[in-house]
Amino acid sequence: MTITDKIRHHPLIIWVVVGFLILNLTLVGIIFWLVQNQPDTTYQSIEPDMSTTTFLRAEELVVVEAVSEDKEPVEVTLPVKPVQFEYIEVTDSCDIHYEGECLLVRSGPGTDYDVVERLRNDVVLKVGGQVERDGQLWYRVVFDEWLRYPERVEDEWYVTADYVKVLLDEGDKTLWEDGAAEVLSKRIVIECNEQTLYAYEGAEVVLETPISTGLDLTPTPLGNFTVFKKTPSRYMQGPLPGLPSDQYYDMPGVPWNLYFTHGGAVIHGAYWHDSFGSTYSHGCVNLPPDAARELYQWAELGTEVIVR
């Protein structure tokens, strides 16, 4: 007996087949109806109002709005992860007086390229890529900041990885000009007569370190200020216009910078001298690099700075 004869003599098989076909056609119809009747909704991300928003910390959330053609705007809370940039810190080089063997900056990734600079310990520089050549890793240094004298950097900068350590940092962090600083229990007190910096959290002193403030011709401004910008690295160049001193200086990779005046007064590490405890600077507040790093990691945007 053939399969056709079996089906013809067993009507139950026919009903099973027909039922299966009807069920499948019904499911297809339901899916088609759902697709055709789905709300035509498009969503648009709206940036937060940065005029009143300070630097976003790792734990913070940002609220955006999802806008639909058919629905009212809905607020959506999203976690924010800060972007991390790669920096290098010189750790195995010459000292403040260029004593010892200095780390040489090359114009390309190899010792066959010209030497364009010598770097002392504690310099911090931003990385813009890396190249491996002949089994040796080289970091390409970038200066993506504003430079007063950009003509001083004519060549590419490459540094071998053997004498540096890699740091990850969020880079420049700034309080927006119209934004209100958060009220903090932290404050930094700079005593110019003592040449000492104190960092307070409430009534507790969490850091005390000798410093170097401005010389007589370039004094550190006195008064009450706020840390409004932080950056782990800054290329500082002089002379500065409008100041009595016309001294030339060229300091790449100045580490751990806390800006407290828009005129350029900064608390930062100094790798080029060890005269802390006496005046030395062009108006900034110089710290030993290790103390500057500790203060930088502790201080938040909005921290009060008192200079007296």
Considering the chain, what is the average pLDDT of its residues? 83
| Whole-Å CA distances, 96 to 32, 102, 143, 173 | 75, 10, 22, 28
Domain assignment present for 43: no
Does residue 299 share a domain with residue 178? yes
If asked whether residues 146 and 233 sit together in one domain, one would say no
Same-domain check for residues 136 and 199: no
Instruction: Based on the fold, state whether residues 120 and 207 are members of the same structural domain.
Output: no
Residues 159 and 177 in one domain: no
- Is 38 strand, coil or helix? coil
| Mean pLDDT, residues 266-293 | 97
Same domain, 162 and 177: no
What is the DSSP secondary-structure string of 169-194? E---EE--TTSPPPP-SEEEEEETTT
Q: Number of folded domains in the chain?
A: 4
pLDDT of residue 31: 61
Instruction: Note the pLDDT tens digit of each residue in 119-139.
Output: 999 999 999 999 999 999 999
Whether 242 and 299 map to the same domain: the answer is: yes
* In the predicted structure, residue 275 carries a pLDDT above the cut 90: yes
Show the 3-state SS of 250-295.
EEEEEEEEEECCCCCCEEEECCCCCCCCCCCECCCEEECHHHHHHH
Q: Are 301 and 54 in contact (CB under 8 A)?
A: yes
Question: Higher model confidence: residue 27 or residue 198?
Answer: 198
Per-residue pLDDT averaged across 34-60, rounded? 42
179, 165: one domain:
no
- The verdict on residue 45 lying in a domain is no
Q: What is the CATH number of the domain that holds 227?
A: 2.40.440.10
- Does 41 map to a domain? no
Between these two residues, 209 and 25, which has the higher pLDDT value? 209
Give the pLDDT confidence score for residue 10 in this predicted structure. 56
Query: 89, 255 in Cβ contact below 8 A?
Result: yes
User: What pLDDT is stored for residue 82 in this prediction?
Assistant: 74
More confident residue, 35 or 100: 100
Judged against a pLDDT cut of 60, whether residue 278 lies above it is answered with yes
Residue 50, pLDDT > 70, answer no
- Answer yes or no: pTM beyond 0.85: no
For residue 248, pLDDT over 80 is answered with yes
Residues 299 and 192 in one domain: yes
Domain presence at residue 44: no
Residue 218 within any structural domain of the chain: yes
Asked whether residue 160 falls in the same domain as residue 185, the answer is no
Burial of 39 (0-12, 13-18, 19+ CB in 10 A): exposed
Confidence of residue 56 (pLDDT cuts 50, 70, 90): very low
CATH of the domain at 162: 2.30.30.40
- The answer, yes or no, to whether residue 285 has pLDDT greater than 70, is yes
Please check whether residues 75 and 91 belong to one and the same domain.
Answer: no
The last residue of one of the domains, among 109, 138, 169, is 169
Residue 261 has pLDDT above 60, yes or no: yes
**Per residue in 191-213, pLDDT tens?**
999 999 999 999 999 999 999 99
138 lies in the same domain as 224: no
- Which residues, in sequence order, are CB contacts of 295 under 8 Å at separation 6+? 188, 197, 199, 207, 209, 256, 258, 267, 287
- The domain of 28 spans 3-36
Across the range 264-277, mean pLDDT stands at 97
Q: Residue 125: what pLDDT?
A: 98
Is the residue at 290 inside a domain?
yes
